[in-house]
A and B are shown apart, each in its own frame.
Chain A
Amino acid sequence: MAAGSASNPCRVLVIGAGMAGLTAALSALERGASVVLLSRFPATRSPSSAFKGGFNAAEGSAEVEIHVADALAHGGPGTSEAMARSRAQAAGGLAEWLARQGLPFDRDGAGFLRQSLPGSSRPRTLSAGAAFGRQLIHALDGQVRRFERAGRLERADGWHLAELILDDEGRCRGAVAVHLHTLEARAFSADAVVLAAGGAGWLVKPTACALDCDGAAVGLAHRHGARLQDADRLAWHPSVPGPDKDLAVPPLLLVQGAKATEDTLDLRGLGKPAWKRWGGSFPRLAAAFSGKNPAGELLPLRSAVVGSLGGLRVDEDMATDLPGLLAAGEAASGGFGARALPGDEALAWLHQAQVAGRSAAGAKVREAEPAEALRAQEATVLRLRAVHAAHGSTSPGGLLAELSQELTLALGPGGSLEAVNALEGLAARVESDLWVKDRSLVANAGTLAALDLPASLAWARSVVATAAARRTAPPDVVLNAAWTGAGPRIAAEGVGA
C-alpha cells in the first residue's frame, strides 16, 4: 500500500451530489484523487438546490469568537464548541473559495453583503439572492464538469446506494448501487468513501424537505457499525402548509421585513421586488397552495422540519466509526446542540465536505482489485430477488408511511415513546410481511424502497431510542446510538471531548 500518486491516484467514491457531495468531490480532486460521484439524480436536481438562506462567515479572529459564542448560546449546553470554532474559523477561506468557483455572492460597496439572521449578534450571513442552494449547485456543478471533461471524475447519475463494500478487516472499500431505471447492480470500488447523501427530514411530518431526504444511506452506514450522534435533533422552521409538503419561509425574506407569528406570515410590508429578490418562487407558490393573496392577506404558518441536525458521528477528519467511511453534510452530525444557529447549517455542511474530501484523498491506495466487491454485488442481486419473491401483505410504501407516522409521534410536539415498541414491530414485519406487488425491473421505486427498508428502520429505531434517552439525559451531553444487530444502544458523551 502507498499513498496516491499522479500515475496511480487515490480513488475516492463520493455518495451524493448535493452541496456537500460536490464540495467533497472538488476538495478530493484538488488534492490529486480520482473521483466517482454517485447520485440518485443529476446534481442540478439535488434537494440542496431548494436550500435558501446563506451561510455565516465572520471576518477576523475577534469576530470569529463572537460567532462561536452566538452558536453556543443558540444551541444550548449540548453544543460542540470544538466543531463550532472549527467551522467559524474556516468560514472566511470557504467564502473566498466559493467565490472563486463562481458562486455569485450578494455584494455591497465594501465587499460581501452581510445580513443578520436570528440569533446572530453581528451581521455575518453571506447570501446569493433567494436561492442560495441553486446558485451553489450551479457553480460547483460547472467546476465538477471541468474535471469530468478532463477524465478525472466519473459521474454516476441515476444510481441508488444499496450496500457498502467491506473488506475482510471490516474496512469500507466502496459501495454497490442499483440503477434507478434498469435495476442493474454495480460495484463501485474505492480507496475511501465519502457519504454525503443528505438527511432524513422527509420522514417526520410536517416537513418542508424533499422526497429524497429519507435517511436510507445514513441508516445503511449505521447498520454496518457507524454510530449516530444526536440523531433525534431536527431543524424546524416556520413554513406555509402545502399539499404534498410545506414551504419553508426563506430566512432572508424574514430578515428583510416579512413578519411571522406562530401561525401567520405577513408579506404585506415588503414590495414586490423584495418578494422576488429574497423570496424567489416562494410567494407565488405559497399563494397557490394556501389560496390566499399575500399582497392583501396573511398566509397560514406552522413549524415544519427543514433538516437533520444529528447524523453519523464524525471525528475532526470527518471519519465515521467505520474505517474507510467518511461523512459530510446533513448525513454527518453537526454538533449543533438543540438548535443550529441560522446560517451555520450550510457552513457546517460545506466545511465538513472540504475536510472529508481532503481526508479521502489521503487514503492509502490498494493495488489489487478486491474480491469483496463482487461478493457485495452478488449479495445485492440476491436481495433484489428476495424482495420480489416476498409474499407478505404490506407494501414498502405502506411500511414507510407507518414508520413516518411513528417517528412523527415520537419526535413531534408532546412526543410519544410507544414508538420504540411500534418500530420494533415494524422491523419484524419488514422481514416477514413485505409484499412488492409491482415486480417490474424498470424504474421501480417500490422495489428500491423495499431494499432500503432495513436501513431506514435501523435509523428510525435509533432516532426514537435517542429521543427516549434524551428525556433523562443531562443537557450538556451528546447522545450516541450504536447499532447492535438486535437494536440500538444509547450512550451519552461529554461535549468537551
Chain B
Amino acid sequence: MKTRLRIRRQDGPGQASRWEVREIHHEEGHTVLSALMERNSEVPPVALEASCLEEACGSCAMLINGRARLACGTLLEGLADKDGLVTVEPLSKFPVVRDLVVDRGRVRADLLHMDATLGETRIGDPSRVQDLAACVACGACLEACPNYGASEARGVPFIGAVVLHESRLANLLGVDKVDRAVRLEALMGNGGIADCGNVQNCVNACPKDIPLAESIAELGRDTTVHAIKRWLFR
C-alpha cells in the first residue's frame, strides 16, 4: 500500500514551518509512527518523540489530520483524505523545538506550582484509583481545550485538564488536610479552575478515557465548599 504523508516541518524554535509531502510504502497494521520512522536517506529524518510504542508513555502525541492522537497506536489505513493525504503536525499548544518535537515542560511546572504532590496516602477503592492514574500526560486534552494557551484573562495562563486531574487525584489519595487546603487555594487562584470554560472537549480528546469532566466537576465542588468554610471561619 502507498500513502502520502504531509508533514509540517520546522528546523528550530521560533523558525518558520514548511510542508513536506513524502510517499511511503506500508503494510496492513502499520501506524503513523512506522511511517515517520521509515528510513529514507534522501530527506533528513523527522525529529519526533517516541518511546514505548504501545500507547503507554504518551511521548508520540501529535496532530494527525488535525486531531491530537498517539502516533504509535494510530493505523494508517483509512486515514487518507480525498486527495490521498495524511497530515501530521506537532501539537499546537506547546512551543515547537523541531519538526514534531514540542516542549511540554510547562505541564510539569504547573503540577509543581499547584502542589499536585503526594505525601502520606490512603487508598479506598484501588480499581478507582487505577482508572484515574492511567493519565499519561500526553497533552491531547490540552490541544482540544479552547482556554488552554488562549488569552490570559487574569495574567496567568490556564493550567488545563492534566494538572486539574492530577490535583484531584492528590486530593483523593492524600491524607494531609493542610496540603489539601493549600492545593484548593492554589486551584482557586488565577489560571486555576475558574478559567475552565466547561466545554468538555478534553473528555472526548483523551486517548485513555480518563473522566476529566468528572475530575473538574469534583474540584469545582471542593473549591466551593472550601471557599464557604474559609468565609465562615475567617
Contact = CB atoms under 8 A, between A and B. Distances in A.
A100 B39 CA distance: 46
Interface string B70-114: 001101000000000000000000000111010111001001100
Residue among B30, B99, B129, B137 with max Cβ neighbours from chain A (10 Å): B129
Contacts of B28: 291
A122 B183 CA distance: 44
A283 to B, nearest CB: 12
Contacts of A281: 54-56, 73
Contacts of B58: 44-45
Contact of A288 (B29, B118, B136): B29
A304 B39 CA distance: 23
Which DSSP category, helix, strand, loop or mixed, fits chain B's interface? loop
Interface in B25-62: 27-31, 33-34, 37, 39, 41, 44-45, 47, 49-59
Interface string B178-201: 000000000000000000000000
Contacts of A139: 118, 121, 133
A242 B53 CA distance: 9
Which DSSP category, helix, strand, loop or mixed, fits chain A's interface? mixed
A442 B11 contact: yes
A242 B13 CA distance: 34
Given A212-B51, A440-B12, A442-B98, A50 B34 contact: no
Interface in A161-185: 181
Nearest to A133: B56
A242 B56 contact: no
Contacts of B47: 442-445
Nearest to A212: B51
Given A242-B29, A244-B34, A244-B37, A128 B108 contact: no
A42 B108 contact: yes
A145 interface: yes
B117 interface: yes
Nearest to A443: B98
A118 interface: no
A100 B27 CA distance: 47
Interface residues of B, number: 61
A45 B57 contact: yes
A473 interface: no
Contact of A149 (B13, B117, B169): B117
Contact of B134 (A45, A134, A157): A134
A45 B51 contact: yes
A197 to B, nearest CB: 13
A139 B119 CA distance: 10
B24 interface: no
Interface string A175-204: 000000100000000000000000000000
Contact of A142 (B12, B51, B117, B134): B117
A454 B123 CA distance: 47
Contacts, number: 172
Contacts of A455: none
A132 B183 CA distance: 27
Contacts of B118: 101-102, 139, 142-143, 145-146
Contacts of B166: 142
Interface stretch (A104-112, A308-316, A407-415): A104-112
Nearest to B13: A442
18 contacts: A41-B49, A42-B137, A44-B57, A49-B56, A49-B57, A102-B121, A102-B129, A104-B130, A134-B133, A146-B117, A148-B112, A155-B108, A211-B51, A243-B29, A244-B53, A291-B28, A443-B47, A444-B47
Given A131-B130, A142-B169, A445-B47, 12 more contacts: A101-B121, A106-B127, A107-B126, A131-B56, A135-B130, A142-B173, A145-B117, A146-B118, A181-B103, A243-B29, A395-B41, A444-B47
Shortest Cβ-Cβ A-B pairs, 10 listed? A142-B118, A50-B56, A102-B121, A104-B126, A104-B129, A443-B98, A146-B117, A129-B130, A138-B133, A50-B52
Interface of A: 41-42, 44-47, 49-50, 99-102, 104-107, 128-131, 133-135, 138-139, 142-143, 145-146, 148-149, 155, 157-158, 181, 210-212, 242-245, 247, 277, 281-282, 285, 288-291, 395, 397, 437-438, 440, 442-446
Interface of B: 11-13, 27-31, 33-34, 37, 39, 41, 44-45, 47, 49-59, 72-73, 75, 97-99, 101, 103-105, 108, 111-112, 115-121, 123, 126-127, 129-130, 133-137, 166, 169-170, 173
